[in-house]
């Protein structure tokens, strides 16, 4: 079903153009071109919502076409997805340097491609909503940090890091520090059951994810042209415009960012620990409730068993008295038999009477759990007073 969302496909291979036109034409308006030049001619009259560019075009290649598109004010914000037969770091980095948003390897899986297009479409919509907020944040950061030198930026970051109680606040502190150094880039956070990549443009941009995926297992500090990455267990900070022309400045900023990344990694560990402790406290509360319910259940069952035992003993005695009338026994014999039955019945009930011991054991367990819970809550209150007690959250 056509949505009005327009895709420009640029590929010199006719089969690829037909395949993409047929598969994507059901959901989008597709216009196909066999060269960069014909695409640019059409671009002068119509703006698409997304470009699909083959890297190996004749004449102007896909990378150069992307740079041309991004240089034009009217098209610089339109997402570009590269199509290539190469899947290596150099190829991906070339696409990133050219300004592309994603990278697809041939042969093209059209289902995955359409998923990527929808993801970019959603990101663009979210980006429009955040543009006003981002601009306000940038203006405020520029005003506050305009007169701070490099060391002041690092010190300010380290101080603010101690007040960060969520992942989002930690990421925002890092991005503010990058902006203060006049740098751009992305931050990837990796914690238990959580992995997300953030940048000024938004969350989880595919090409940023692809680049970090290639470099996060490399050296602690990895440099590639104007790109520099700082890799720790729970965080990777990627800088895309390092000032390599000024070796001294580059070296100082590199050292500052290494310290910032290590401190941020430690902060993320603390946030994860706080969340784990909060989860443990919730489990202890649940166990306390379960123990209390079990004790009450034992008490009720014990009382019921005692009552039934008494009723059963009374019925036995009544049956014996009724039987004595036909046996011709003396009063002394009847009394002796009744006393013996009473005594044996009471001893039988006492054999199974473990409710008191069970309740005492469960009560002791409950007290120990309550003590552990009180200790963890005291520690959590202390952490909250030092700025680390708001828990692991994206709020």
Instruction: Provide CB contacts within 8 A for 115, sequence distance 6+.
Output: none
pLDDT of residue 32 exceeding 90, the answer is: yes
pLDDT of residue 271: 86
Kindly report the backbone phi and psi dihedral angles of residue 81, in degrees, each rounded to the nearest multiple of 5, phi listed first.
-115, 120
Distance between start and end Cα atoms, the chain: 37
Domain 133-266 annotated CATH 1.20.120: no
H runs (alpha helix) in 85-201: 89-98, 110-145, 150-161, 167-180
More confident residue, 102 or 316: 102
For the chain, domain boundaries: 6-123, 133-266, 275-385
Pick the CATH number of 275-385 from 1.20.120, 1.50.10, 1.10.760, 1.10.287: 1.10.287
pLDDT of residue 393 exceeding 60, the answer is: no
Q: Are 191 and 275 in contact (CB under 8 A)?
A: no
Looking at CATH, the fold of the domain delimited by 6-123 is given as Rossmann fold (3.40.50)
Mean pLDDT of 64-75: 94
C-alpha 393/C-alpha 200 separation (Å) is 19
10 DSSP β-pair partners? 33, 53
pLDDT of residue 28 exceeding 80, the answer is: yes
pLDDT of residue 1: 45
Structure tokens at 210: 């692809």
pLDDT of residue 170 exceeding 90, the answer is: yes
pLDDT of residue 24: 93
Tens digits of residue pLDDT in 181-238: 889 999 999 998 889 999 888 888 888 888 899 889 889 998 888 899 999 999 999 9
Rg (CA), the chain: 36
Instruction: Provide CB contacts within 8 A for 197, sequence distance 6+.
Output: 186, 187, 188, 189, 203, 204, 205, 208, 209, 212
**Among candidate residues 230, 157, 236, 158, the one with its CA nearest the CA of residue 190:** 236
More confident residue, 371 or 393: 371
**Among candidate residues 110, 112, 63, the one with its CA nearest the CA of residue 84:** 63
Tens digits of residue pLDDT in 125-165: 877 776 666 566 665 555 444 435 677 888 888 989 888 88
pLDDT of residue 351: 53
More confident residue, 390 or 257: 257
Tens digits of residue pLDDT in 291-312: 667 667 766 776 776 677 677 7
Percent share of the chain, pLDDT over 90: 36
C-alpha 298/C-alpha 319 separation (Å) is 31
Average pLDDT of the residues of the chain: 80
**Among candidate residues 95, 80, 85, the one with its CA nearest the CA of residue 12:** 85
- SS3 readout for 337-394: HHHHHHHHHHHHHHHCCCHHHHHHHHHHHHHHHHHHHHHHHHHHHHHHHCCCCCCCCC
What pTM value is reported for the model? 0.54
């Amino acid at each position: 079903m056509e949505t009005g969302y327009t895709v420009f496909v640029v590929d010199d291979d006719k089969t690829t153009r037909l395949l993409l036109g047929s598969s994507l034409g059901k959901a989008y308006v597709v216009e196909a071109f066999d060269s960069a030049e014909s695409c640019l001619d059409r671009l002068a009259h119509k703006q698409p919502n997304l470009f699909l560019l083959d890297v190996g075009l004749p004449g102007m290649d896909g990378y150069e076409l992307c740079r041309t598109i991004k240089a034009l004010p009217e098209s610089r914000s339109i997402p570009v997805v590269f199509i290539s037969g190469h899947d290596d770091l150099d190829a991906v980095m070339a696409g990133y340097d050219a300004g592309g948003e994603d990278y697809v390897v041939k042969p093209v899986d059209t289902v995955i491609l359409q998923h990527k297009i929808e993801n970019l479409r959603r990101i663009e919509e979210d980006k429009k909503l955040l543009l006003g907020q981002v601009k306000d944040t940038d203006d405020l950061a520029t005003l506050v940090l305009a007169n701070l030198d490099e060391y002041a930026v690092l010190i300010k970051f380290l101080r603010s890091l101690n007040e960060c109680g969520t992942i989002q606040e930690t990421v925002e502190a890092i991005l503010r520090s990058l902006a203060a150094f006049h740098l751009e880039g992305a931050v990837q956070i990796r914690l238990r059951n959580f992995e997300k990549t953030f940048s000024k443009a938004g969350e989880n941009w595919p090409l940023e994810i692809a680049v970090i995926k290639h470099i996060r297992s490399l050296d602690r500090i990895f440099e590639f042209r104007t790109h520099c990455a700082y890799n720790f267990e729970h965080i990777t900070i990627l800088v895309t415009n390092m000032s390599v022309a000024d070796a001294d400045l580059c070296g100082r900023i590199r050292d500052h960012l290494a310290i910032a990344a290590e401190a941020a990694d430690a902060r993320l560990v603390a946030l994860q620990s706080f969340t784990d402790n909060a989860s443990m406290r919730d489990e202890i509360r649940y166990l306390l409730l379960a123990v209390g319910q079990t004790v009450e259940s034992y008490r009720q069952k014990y009382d019921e068993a005692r009552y039934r035992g008494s009723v059963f003993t009374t019925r036995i005695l009544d049956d014996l008295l009724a039987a004595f009338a036909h046996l011709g026994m003396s009063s002394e014999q009847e009394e002796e038999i009744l006393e013996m039955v009473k005594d044996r019945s009471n001893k039988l009930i006492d054999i199974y009477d473990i409710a008191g011991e069970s309740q005492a054991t469960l009560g002791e367990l409950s007290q120990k759990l309550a003590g552990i819970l009180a200790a963890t809550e005291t520690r959590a209150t202390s952490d909250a007073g030092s700025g680390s007690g708001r828990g692991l959250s994206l709020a």
